[in-house]
Copies of this chain bind each other. A is one copy, B any other.
Amino acid sequence: MADNSEQPKEQSKSALKKAEKQAKMAADKAAKAAKQATVVVGQGKKTDDIIGITVKKEEDFSSWYQEVVLKAEMIEYYNEISGFFIMRPASMYIWNVIRKWFQERIEAMGVEETSFPMFLSAKSLEKEKDHVEGFAPELAWVTKAGDKDLEVPVAVRPTSEAVMYPYYAKWIRSHRDLPFRLNQWNSVVRWEAKQTTPFLRAREFMWQEGHTAHLTEELAGKEVLEILEFYAGVYEELLAVPVVRGRKTENEKFAGGYYTTTVEGYIPSNGRGIQGATSHCLGQNFSKMFDITVEDPAEKGKHIHVWQNSWGLSTRVIGVMVMIHGDDKGLVLPPRISKLQAIVIPLGITAKTTAEVKQQHTEKLEELRESLKKAGVRVDVDTREGYTPPWKFNDWELKGVPLRIEFGPKDMEKNVISYARRDTGEKGTIPIADLATKVPELLETIQKDMYNKADAAYKEHRIQVTEWEKVVPALDAKNVVLIPFCLEPKCEENIKDTTKSKDEHGNERMGMKSLCIPFEQPEGLVKGETKCLNPTCGKNAEAWVQFGRSY
């Protein structure tokens, strides 16, 4: 599966070194700031300014992102080995929500769970040539056990086609065994040479990988799209991130596969496209290599190579979500995937408050918590001592909790709570009697508003372009473009080269690559008439294709 594995081949070694150095500096800076913040907090000082994000999202997006995932405690850099990250509870929670949601759906389809070894022998890897070529440069090789050299080195799986399919040949004996569907949740290793980024590109990442076999192309194709729709659902329904569904061009499809479908996202801050998750039809390529056949139910004695799919969704989804929703105060989490949906912060208790009011206040807080919990809200009360309410506001904003509830003696008198939305900053009050209905409603409103905002940004910056001259300016203005395209691999390579540009500092901006052939095609392309937009091409356009600078 191609997820996480794209390589911008045009990048030169020196550019790469420079980028790595920059990333390292940004990471060090973020780590230092985080450490400072923690140390200060640890000593119990009430500095309200230092725990926030020190970089503006608009000004330095890459550093901003690294600070957010670090300070919101989603990620820790694994200093021992570069390119690896630790997933902390804040991100594991999100991954587990996604896992549960997706697992329920594939289980209902009849997909069963399995667990294959993490190592791959060179022998099985060599069977599918295109496939091995795609992954060979990134394979991590175990050559020693203890102090002894292994007779035959083994590689850590970069994906499991070559691990699993020898056994598919053994287990699939009859058309009655079809569809044959297995999925596993694990981590894979791709020793990327290029710059790594938390969640988006790491040398080890967690994912699920589904591997299925079917009797016909049609049945395989149906499943490819069912799974793709689940992937879209993870983004749209859970992460409040809009995606475009489509098919990859030949250049961008999975190594060794037949065709690849994809959900493609968009990062407004830098105008880049980002591959969300991919669902591949492998056709009969692998079944021919691994000899996976069944007897044709329609013709005795005739053997059919099965049609195979593989599909994967990785922790990359979390990074996309952070990039799209986060702001200068830190993380902004959609309520459906947030471990804490609402945080209650006690206010207005001072040295002058009477013991009676204090007591009443504490009891009322407990009631609030209980009634919200009963209403199914994931809620907590921040009773930490030694911190001011503004410090707590900043802390929870940094961590992205969707709803802040403030409750002081004045609210108590009026029988209301005050709230502030994390996504918009909007404030209001809710009568305590209505909490159990109004808070869940408000959380759903936040979820929808976050999606709608991201969707509007995507729609605004996904531009149909019919004049070649307007392509690069559109990219420079942070858009992805839809252009009439011939679908030829060579033309695509050419476009990648000719759409580079320079920014105001003279730094090169990457050329655009094809993101997908959207299933939903706009009007206005006449087959046999409309030409490919690349002026050096001259061929007819086959489809509107979404291109963009991308991750």
- Mark the stretch among A53-61, A80-88, A389-397, A486-494 that contacts chain B: A80-88
Most chain B CB inside 10 Å of its own CB: which residue of A84, A113, A142: A142
User: Contact at A76–B146, with CB atoms within 8 Å?
Assistant: no
**How many residues of A are in contact with the other chain, CB < 8 A?**
61
User: Contact at B93–A113, with CB atoms within 8 Å?
Assistant: yes
Who on chain B is nearest to A384 by CB?
Answer: B176
Binary B-proximity of A119-139 (CB < 8 A = 1, otherwise 0): 111011000000000001111
Bound Cα distance A141, B136 (Å): 18
Please pick, from B80, B88, B120, B193, the residue contacting A121 in the complex, using a CB distance under 8 A: B80
Who on chain B is nearest to A87 by CB?
Answer: B115
* Residues in B neighbouring A35, C-beta threshold 8 A: 170
* Residues in B neighbouring A116, C-beta threshold 8 A: 78, 86-87
Who on chain B is nearest to A79 by CB?
Answer: B166
Q: Does A536 contact B (CB under 8 A)?
A: no
User: Contact at B84–A119, with CB atoms within 8 Å?
Assistant: yes
A121-B81, A167-B86 known; A146+B142 contact, CB < 8 A = no
* Residues in B neighbouring A87, C-beta threshold 8 A: 114-116
Give the copy number: 2
User: Contact at A80–B123, with CB atoms within 8 Å?
Assistant: yes
User: Contact at B42–A173, with CB atoms within 8 Å?
Assistant: yes
User: Contact at A38–B173, with CB atoms within 8 Å?
Assistant: yes
CB distance from A190 to the nearest CB of B (A): 9
User: Contact at B112–A89, with CB atoms within 8 Å?
Assistant: yes
Bound Cα distance A299, B85 (Å): 36
User: Contact at A140–B142, with CB atoms within 8 Å?
Assistant: yes
User: Contact at A117–B85, with CB atoms within 8 Å?
Assistant: yes
Q: Does A33 contact B (CB under 8 A)?
A: no
Q: Does A108 contact B (CB under 8 A)?
A: no
A92-B113, A187-B118 known; A80+B143 contact, CB < 8 A = no
Who on chain B is nearest to A44 by CB?
Answer: B174
Those of A147-191 within 8 Å (CB) of chain B: 147, 153-154, 156, 163, 166-167, 170-171, 173-174, 182, 186-187, 189, 191
Chain A residues engaging chain B, CB cutoff 8 angstroms: 35, 38-39, 41-42, 76, 78-81, 84-89, 92-93, 96, 112-121, 123-124, 136-147, 153-154, 156, 163, 166-167, 170-171, 173-174, 182, 186-187, 189, 191, 193, 204, 206
